[in-house]
Amino acid sequence: MTKGRHHHSRAWAPLPAALPDWTIDDHTHVVSVVSYAQEQSRQADDRQMPVVPVYSADELLDFAGFVGIRQIVDVGCTLPELQPAVDLALAHPGRVFAGLAIHPTEAVLHGHHGAPGPDGLSVVYEPWHDMPFDEALDHVARLARSNPGVVVTIGETGLDYFRTGEPARGLQRQAFRDHIDLAKQLGLPVQIHDRQADEDVVRILLADGAPEAGAVFHSYAADADTARIAREHGWYLSFSGTVTFPSNERLRQALRVIDLDHVLVETDAPYLTPAPWRGRTNAPQMVPYTLRAMADVLDMPVEELARRTRANAQRLYRLPPLPEQSGPPAAAR
Ligand SMILES: [Zn+2]
Sketch out the chain's domains with CATH numbers: 20-319 (3.20.20.140)
Phi, psi of 282 (to 5 degrees): -90, 155
* Cα–ligand 1 centroid distance for 29 (angstroms): 7
For residue 52, give the DSSP letter: -
Which residues have C-beta under 5 Å from ligand 1, the single-atom ion?
268
Q: What is the pLDDT of residue 239?
A: 98
Torsion from C-alpha of 151, 60, 237, 178, nearest 10 degrees: -30
CA dist 242 → 27, 51, 98, 169, 300 (Å):
14, 28, 23, 25, 20
Torsion from C-alpha of 287, 291, 292, 294, nearest 10 degrees: 140
Give yes or no for a contact between 183 and 154, defined as CB atoms under 8 angstroms apart: yes
Tell me the β-bridge partners of 116.
164
* Cα–ligand 1 centroid distance for 128 (angstroms): 19
Q: What is the CA radius of gyration of the chain?
A: 19
Determine the Cα–Cα distance for residues 211 and 206; give it in Å rounded to an integer.
11
CA angle, 179 as apex, 177 and 185 as ends, to 5°? 105
Q: What is the pLDDT of residue 5?
A: 54
Determine the Cα–Cα distance for residues 170 and 303; give it in Å rounded to an integer.
44
pTM: 0.94
* Cα–ligand 1 centroid distance for 102 (angstroms): 11
Determine the Cα–Cα distance for residues 92 and 268; give it in Å rounded to an integer.
19
* Cα–ligand 1 centroid distance for 75 (angstroms): 7
Q: How many residues does the chain have?
A: 333
* Cα–ligand 1 centroid distance for 27 (angstroms): 6
Q: Mean pLDDT, consecutive 10-residue segments, the chain of 333 residues?
A: 61 94 98 91 90 93 97 98 98 97 98 96 97 98 98 98 97 98 98 98 98 98 98 98 97 98 98 94 97 98 98 96 53 35
Torsion from C-alpha of 191, 194, 198, 201, nearest 10 degrees: -50
* Cα–ligand 1 centroid distance for 148 (angstroms): 21
Give yes or no for a contact between 117 and 165, defined as CB atoms under 8 angstroms apart: yes
Sign of the CA dihedral 216, 217, 223, 225?
negative
Give yes or no for a contact between 32 and 54, defined as CB atoms under 8 angstroms apart: no
Determine the Cα–Cα distance for residues 74 and 96; give it in Å rounded to an integer.
7
* Cα–ligand 1 centroid distance for 332 (angstroms): 42
Determine the Cα–Cα distance for residues 292 and 271; give it in Å rounded to an integer.
19
Centre a 10 Å sphere on the Cβ of residue 103 and count the other Cβ atoms it contains.
Answer: 22
* Cα–ligand 1 centroid distance for 232 (angstroms): 25
* Cα–ligand 1 centroid distance for 219 (angstroms): 8
Phi, psi of 328 (to 5 degrees): -70, 155
CA 37 remoteness from chain centre: 18
* Cα–ligand 1 centroid distance for 331 (angstroms): 42
H/E run at residue 160? strand 151-160
Phi, psi of 22 (to 5 degrees): -90, 160
* Cα–ligand 1 centroid distance for 269 (angstroms): 7
Give yes or no for a contact between 281 and 37, defined as CB atoms under 8 angstroms apart: yes
Q: What is the pLDDT of residue 9?
A: 87
